[in-house]
């Protein structure tokens, strides 16, 4: 849940990068950390990984400066993607204001995307939140791997399978090179701040 101090004109909100294991959530944060130096408000923390797999979460604080008269700070988190870390994902999701779902474009990861999206839906329900109402953006990551000869799903297919009912903004990305990462983040922040505005009327 965002912390909004209207007296001091400060907002602090939480954006969570969700998705299946190895889909590129940590890579997204690493790119943001590298490319948005001005906005980075502290060091990126990755708590314990094993074989490049996130076991707990990654954390990156951003300061967006003044928006509509408010000092806006954002905490970016990733969840551990592997199925067995469901309890940790629930913990990281607590207090979430907006979500980026990082889907893997590789054809072999099709089912993992769907399982993870279902897991997100269930975890939000447990917190009394709806996947249809929370600010959500889809990112179809690893588009660059097609050039390396790996079978990648078409955007039409991914949109049909993941976004047919949600109808949320979606972006293609190659998080390793940073392509699409900024657009995804911008849209997610925009939706999150709009949602907070609807709820708390923070903007002047």
Partner 1 sequence: MDLGNKIKKYYKEAELYNSHGLLNEALEKYKSIDGLVKSTRNIRNREGILKQIALKIELTSKKLQKLDGVKATPEVAEDAQSLMKEMYTFDDPEAKGSSALGGAIALAKFGQYDKAIEELNRLLEYDKLRLEAAKNILWCWVQQNYTDYAVSLYQKWRKNKLFPPEEVDSIQAYFTELIDSAGGDHEIDELESQRTVEPDSEIDDDEILDISAVRFVLPRGPKEGEKIELEISFQSGKYIRMIIPRKEKDLIDSINPGDLLKEIVFYSPVAIFSGEGYVSSKNEIDAGPKKADYSLEIKIIKIVS
Q: Nearer to partner 1 by C-beta: 134 or 168?
A: 134
For residue 169, the minimal CB distance to partner 1 (Å) is 26
Residue whose CB is less far from partner 1, 48 or 194: 48
CA 107, 171, 202: angle at the middle one, nearest 5? 140
| Beta carbons within 8 Å of 198's beta carbon, 6+ residues apart | none
- CA angle, residues 95, 57, 79, in degrees to nearest 5: 65
CB 195, min distance to partner 1, A = 19
For partner 1, the closer of residues 35 and 145 by Cβ is: 145
**Shorter beta-carbon distance to partner 1: residue 36 or 59:** 59
What DSSP designation does 131 have? T
Question: Shortest approach of partner 1 to residue 94 CB, angstroms?
Answer: 6
DSSP labels, 134-174:
S-EEEEEE-GGGGTTT--B--HHHHHHHHHTTT---EEE-B
For partner 1, which is the closer residue by CB, 12 or 161?
12
Q: What's the token pair of residue 155?
A: 């955007």
Nearer to partner 1, 89 or 188 (CB): 89
Q: How far is the CB of 145 from partner 1 (least distance, A)?
A: 7
To partner 1, the closest distance from the beta carbon of 18 in angstroms equals: 17
Cβ at position 120, least distance to partner 1 in Å: 19
Site residues for partner 1 per CB under 8 A: 1, 22, 45, 47-48, 50-53, 55-56, 59, 75, 84-85, 87-88, 91, 94-95, 106, 108-109, 145, 148-151
C-alpha 171/C-alpha 155 separation (Å) is: 10
Q: Please report, for residues 1, 66, 72, 107, the alpha-carbon distance to residue 182 in angstroms, rounded to integers and kept in the order given.
A: 23, 19, 17, 24
Q: Mind giving me the DSSP string for 53-96?
A: EESS-EEEEEEEEEETTEEEEEEEEE---SGGGHHHHHHHHTT-
Q: What are phi and psi of 174, to 5 degrees?
A: -135, 90
């Amino acid at each position: 849940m965002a912390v909004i101090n209207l007296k001091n004109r400060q907002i602090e909100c939480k954006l969570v990068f969700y998705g299946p294991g190895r889909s590129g959530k940590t890579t997204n944060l690493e790119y943001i950390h590298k490319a948005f130096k001005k906005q980075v408000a502290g060091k990126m923390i990755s708590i314990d990984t094993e074989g490049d797999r996130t076991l707990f979460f990654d954390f990156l604080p951003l300061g967006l400066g003044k928006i509509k008269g408010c000092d806006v700070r954002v905490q970016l988190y990733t969840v551990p993607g592997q199925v067995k870390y469901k309890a940790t994902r629930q913990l990281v999701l607590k207090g979430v204001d907006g979500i980026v779902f990082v889907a893997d474009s590789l054809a072999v990861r099709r089912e993992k995307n769907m399982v993870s999206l279902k897991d997100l839906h269930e975890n939000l329900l447990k917190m009394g939140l709806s996947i249809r109402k929370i600010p959500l953006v889809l990112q179809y990551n690893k588009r660059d791997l097609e050039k390396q000869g790996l079978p990648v799903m078409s955007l039409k297919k991914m949109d049909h399978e993941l976004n047919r009912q949600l109808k949320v903004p979606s972006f293609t990305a190659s998080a390793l090179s940073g392509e699409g990462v900024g657009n995804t983040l911008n849209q997610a922040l925009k939706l999150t701040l709009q949602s907070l505005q609807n709820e708390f009327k923070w903007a002047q």
